[in-house]
Structure formats: structure tokens, C-alpha cells
Amino acid sequence: MSSVPREPHEILEIQEKHRAIIRSDRRTFIGSHSELKFAFGSFEVSNYSATGIAILVQTGSDRFARSETYTASHSVDGVQVGTYQLCMARKVHLLSGEGTQVAFELKSGSIPIDKIHTVIKLRRVLNSINKNLEETNRIPQEFRRIVLEGKRFLQSLEAQVQEMRVEREYGSLEEVKNFEDTLIPIVADFITHWSTPAHLQMEASLEGVPEDDLALCIGFYREQLKGMIYPSPFAHRSAAKPLGYAGDFEMMNIIYRNEHVGDSLFGKCLHAYWLNHSEPKAVRNRSRYLYDQLLHVIRNTSGPLKIASIACGPCREVQMILESAAEQRLDLSRCEFHLLDQDIKALKHAHEKLWEIAKSTESQIKLNFINKSTKQLIVRGWGENDFDLIYSAGLFDYFSDPVARIAARALFELLKPGGQLIIGNFSRTAPNQFGMRLALDWNLIHRSQDDLRALFGDLGGVLFIEQEPEGVNLFCVIKRPIEGLLPKTSGDDDRQHHGPE
């Protein structure tokens, strides 16, 4: 007959090779200071248990003998927790040469473990509060004032907006939509009128603040206003960075969609507020700018076309080309697109969207999806140098000047004679740079037209600068000269592109 296995707690027999001596757990003080005070001096406590305590003696450990009984008061972080009658149990000379550990047993009673733990925990809480107060005092008072006033303003606005939503009765989803479509843009605009001067005042109040203290200021702002900022899906994704960086492909899709979304009515208002800034508008304009460039190249170039998008993201401009091909009478069968991104999720998304459109329109366009970083492209090359157009819209804003030069030269060398390279970069005049850094943790390297000329003017091509209607996103266009034709001087042909958003 097979035996039924017993649960661990039902086993009474403990098999041992030798009988263990049972002692109370020894504990040490980590992050706290404890000492025993005798009539002849005080010594640091090295460890303790319920029945004993040990001290560290630098010199003079001979004064402690087994035959003696000692009275000592015990303190932890300056708080007395007990007075004990002790007899010495043993001495251990430390191999490190830092002295001798002298251990004692209590003649009666026990060490107040719970009391010690309470003192240690409370001291940590109080130290944390003191640290927070010290750090807060390093934040400029004017900055704190503006942030806290902003918090009260937004909380009050949120309460009023939510009250309007609750007091209304709706008979259909269409009525709800009409109400929200009316309210959200007005509230978003109202927030803008508050935030624009407030951010300017905050930025001025931080002038001259040391770098370490700036981090405290940013942390204070985000902690105080997190409930007033991050209900917006746009702001939340930017701060959370689920793919490791703020401007990922789904963030671009959020900007392109420009919808009224959020977990609450006020969250939708905040979302609209962020998407109504010049920077998101410029991103939407950017897709139209790139679409126009593609349209121009396809219409004005005969024969096969080879085009590359670096850090392609969701490829909104290519989607637009596919969607409008019939209306624009474009022959896409001779177009070969190479879409490169280091984010495999971005490529999978682009693949799904583009192939869906291509199939529904029966397009013969050739699409190649390449999961590779720009660094790999620079170091290992592409193995091809016959591109008609290469463009990178949202990558160089993250590159330092040396990296930007190297990357631009590597891409320029991939062009065929007469081909052109387009490099997008946010302008120094972008109005919400401070807000993006402060609230969204979205840090870009902004550059002026002169900066772009200085970076890329020596590539050996015809260079001119364009911009979208907001004037926020600049485009450095560099055309590779055809052999035998001298390039014009950099900056001879600055142009401005004004397409619809």
C-alpha cells in the first residue's frame, strides 16, 4: 500500500547530522547609530539580539572581565531605549585590526527589539522629512510659488469642468460628442493662456540655479503637478517612455491623429492643450512637407526611383503618397522605398499600415523594411550609393554636433549625382522648449539655420534651408551635384515651405 506524502508542517522528526545550538538572531544597525554607555565610557554597538549585545572597543578591552557585572544604558540615534545589567560572554580580536568585539549577555530581562525598531523607523521617517525640507529650500521660492499657484489653478479648473459634465444629461453619444467638441478646445486654449506666461516666469526664476538644484526643481514641478499633467495620454507617454524615448512611433501617431482622448473630460482638455502647441503642429506640418517632397520627386524624375527614410517611424508621409496615388496619377511601380528604423515595433506598425493601403489600392510600390540603427549604417555602410532621395525628419534633434556631421556625411555619400538629402531639425525659435523639458522630459537639440549651415555646409552639395508654416521645424536640403557642375554657395537659396497642416 502506497503511503500518502505528508505536508511539511506535519513532519515532526528533524533529521540532523549534529544538534544545532539555538540562539536569537543577531542584528546590526544599518544607517543608524547605537551605543552602550558605561560609567567609564561609551562604545559603539556592533550587533545585538534579544538576549545579548556586542560593542566595538578600539583600545583598552582588558578592562572587561568575565567575573564582573556591568551597568550600561543603551541609546539608538540619541534615544535611550534601555538600561541593562551585563556580564561579559567573550572577546574577539578583529582581523581587520579595527579593535576588539566584546559581547555581553543580559543577567535579566531582554533587549527591547520592538522599541529599537520603532526608533529606527521613526528616525528614518524624520530624516527623510528633513531631507525633503532641505531640498525644498534649495528650490527658488518664486519657482515654488508659481508651481503651487498653477496647481491650485488647474485643480479649480478641473473641478469646474467636471461639474459641467455631471450636471448635463445626455440622450445620445452624439450629444456628448457635441458638448465635448465645444468645451475641450476652449478649455485647452484657456490653459495655454495661463501656461505661456507661467512657464516664462518659471524659466526666469531658475536662471543661475546650479545643475543639481535644477533636478530638484524639475522633480518638485512634476510631483506637484503630476495629477494635472499626465492624465493627457500625450504627456503620460512622453514622461513614461515605454519604448525608451519620448518621440517614438506611437507618439507620432498620437500627434497625427490629434483626437480628443483621455480618461476624463479634463484629461481630454489637457491632451488638446499639449497637442495645440507649435511643436506638435510642426510635426503634423512635417508629414505634409515630406509628402510634398516625395510628390515632387516622383513627378519630376523619370525611370526607377530609390528613396530612403532614416528613423522612419510610422511613415505617415508614405501612407499619404499611397492614399493619394490614384488622385495624383502617380506611377509607384517604379518607386523603391527603403524604410529604416532601430525600433522593430515601429517597423512592424509601418509594415502593417503600408501594406494594408498598398493592397487596398492595388499599388505596385516596392517597400523594404530595415531594422538597423544609424550607428550601424555609419559603421558598416549600406552597400548601396544610388539613392535619389534620403530624408530623416526626427532623428538629428537627438544627435550632438560631431555625431550629426558624421551621420550626414554617411547619408550624403549614399546619394547618386543629383540626389538630395533632407535633414529635419527643430529650430531654436521653438516656443515651448522649456515646457517640453520641464513637464514632458522631452529633450531635443534645437538648431538655427546658421547652425545647420555650419554643420552640413562642407558636404560638397547645394544647401538650402526650408521650414514648415509654424517655423518650428527646419529642413536642411542638400543636393549632390552632378559631375561637372559646380555647386552653389551654401545659403544661396533659402526657401520656405508653407503647406496646410
pLDDT in tens, the chain (501 residues): 445 555 544 444 545 554 444 456 789 988 899 999 999 999 999 999 999 999 999 999 999 999 999 999 999 999 999 999 999 999 999 887 789 999 999 999 999 999 999 999 999 999 999 998 999 999 999 999 999 999 999 999 999 999 998 887 788 999 999 999 999 999 999 999 999 999 999 999 999 999 989 999 999 999 999 999 999 999 999 999 999 999 999 999 999 999 999 999 999 999 999 999 999 999 999 999 999 999 999 999 989 999 999 999 999 999 999 999 999 999 999 999 999 999 999 999 999 999 999 999 999 999 999 999 888 888 888 877 899 999 999 999 999 999 999 999 999 999 999 999 999 999 999 999 999 999 999 999 999 999 999 999 999 999 999 999 999 999 999 999 987 554 554 444 444 444 333
Please, what CATH class does the domain formed by 280-479 belong to?
Answer: alpha beta
Q: In sequence order, which residues have a C-beta less than 8 Å from that of residue 218 and are 6 or more positions away?
A: 437, 438
Which amino acid type is present at position 27? Answer: R
Q: Under a CB-based contact definition with an 8 Å cutoff, are residues 217 and 143 in contact?
A: yes
Task: Give me the pLDDT at residue 316, please.
Answer: 97
**Per-domain residue ranges of the chain:** 34-111, 138-276, 280-479
Task: Give me the pLDDT at residue 489, please.
Answer: 45
Quote the cell numbers at residue 385. 550609393
Q: Where are the beta strands (DSSP E) in 94-160?
A: 100-106
Q: Looking at the domain that runs over 34-111, which CATH code has it been given?
A: 2.40.10
Task: Give me the pLDDT at residue 187, please.
Answer: 97
**81-87-92-94 Cα dihedral, nearest 10 degrees:** 30
**Which H or E run contains 292?**
helix 278-300
Which amino acid type is present at position 135? Answer: E
What is the CB neighbour count within 10 angstroms for residue 115?
14
Q: Where are the beta strands (DSSP E) in 58-207?
A: 69-76, 79-93, 100-106
How far, in Å, CA of 28 to CA of 34, rounded?
10
